[in-house]
Structure 1
Amino acid sequence: MSGFKLVGIAGSFNRPSKTLALVRHVSERASIRYGFTSKTYDLNDVGPSLGSALWRKDLDAQARRVVDEIVQADALIIGSPTYKGSYPGHFKHLIDLIDPHELRGKPIIITATGGGDRHALMVEHQLRPLFGFFMAHTLPTAVYASDR
């Protein structure tokens, strides 16, 4: 599958980040196994214009490049830290700036990190329905990693 482009996005500003480490790990494994080219980003890569953008056109050039990478990817690895049982607001805002048709049918591996086992259902109760709205093709198996 030469030329197949895999993009990972971690919905975290923290560095170091367990979520970014998980997204990178899944991305590297898939790239090595299947020969994909891959890039990974986090919310720091998107930059500060995300917080003030009401529309995608309001993003600065750096943020627009990351969003363009996301929508032009052949497949995505989406990772989110668990924040009070769900995904963080800035992560959701980034996803809200993407038109639903841009993710339609796109394969997505959903991943999440959390402090304990009780957050494990976040991938099923929060992330899977979010990308279901976009009519993306979330792979049946999600990856959740806790501190344990």
Structure 2
Amino acid sequence: MTQPLRVVAVSGGLQSPSKSAALTEHILGLIADEISSEQHMVELGQLAPLLAGAIWRSQLPEVVERKLTVVEQADILVVATPVYRGSYTGLFKHFFDFIHQDALIDKPVLLAATGGSERHALVIEHQLRPLFSFFQARTLPLGIYATDKDFVDYRLQDPALIERTRLALQRAMPLLELTRKARHPLVEQLAVA
């Protein structure tokens, strides 16, 4: 029996509802269709008041510590942030400042962002990818960038973007399968025997 992968999504959206959260939920749904997974969503907008003023991880309340631990123990991360002044939100960076620097080594990370227009699409390459390279994570090849026009009532509607999201996941599947096999080598050996 194959154990599900722990897939954790982090949405940097500050409002509720949030387009970043809607995008991560869409991606989580596609992952659930392809691979057995236990999914968790971390919405930073809900944690904002609890993160304010904390400089050290030891200063954080238990609820934030639990969210950090969930991220650190993930097998796969999906991260999405709204673009704010050409980058991820300060809250998004503040949250990841508390993640242990070795906790994400070799973890697959699917990068996503939302913005008001296409002019911010390179935030994935110029901001998110370097952040997760610091953590030595394995950022997946295709990032997903959505604009306001891609949503209707906080649901992804643009056919081209929906197809790009499917393609990003399709290209990620070999790495996700390797991650699953690496996590459960004994289970894989018993299945072959």
Q: TM-score, normalised by structure 1?
A: 0.95
Q: Gapped runs of 5+ residues in structure 2?
A: 150-193
Cα deviation for residue 32 of structure 1 reads: 1.9
Distance 1:39 1:46 in 2: 15
1:66 is the counterpart of 2:67: yes
Query: What is the match of residue 112 of structure 1?
Result: 113
- Structure 1 consecutive aligned stretches of length 4 or more whose deviation exceeds 6 Å: none
How far the C-alpha of 1:105 sits from its partner, in A, is: 0.8
CA distance in 1, matches of 2:45, 2:144: 22
Q: Deviations over 1:39-81 (max 9, x none)?
A: 1121134352211211111110111111110001101000010
Render the CA deviation track for 1:84-121: whole Å, top value 9, x for unaligned: 11011111010011121011111100000000000110
**Rg (Cα) greater in structure:** 2
Q: Residue 16 of structure 1 corresponds to which residue in structure 2?
A: 17
Distance 1:32 1:39 in 2: 15
Q: 5+ unaligned residues in a row in structure 1: which ranges?
A: none
Percent sequence identity is: 40
Any idea what SS the aligned residue of 1:100 has?
Answer: coil
Aligned partner letter, 1:57: S
Matches within 5 A, 1:1-148: 1-148=2-149
CA contact (8 A) 1:45 1:63 kept: no
Specify the SS of the correspondent of 1:131: helix
Q: TM-score, normalised by structure 2?
A: 0.74
Q: Is the 8 A contact 2:82 2:114 kept in 1?
A: yes
* Counterpart residue identity of residue 65, structure 2: R
Higher helix share: 2
- Which of 38-47 and 130-139 deviates more? 38-47
Q: Secondary structure of 2:52's match?
A: helix
Distance 2:47 2:4 in 1: 24
Whole-angstrom CA distance in 2 between matches of 1:119 and 1:86: 8
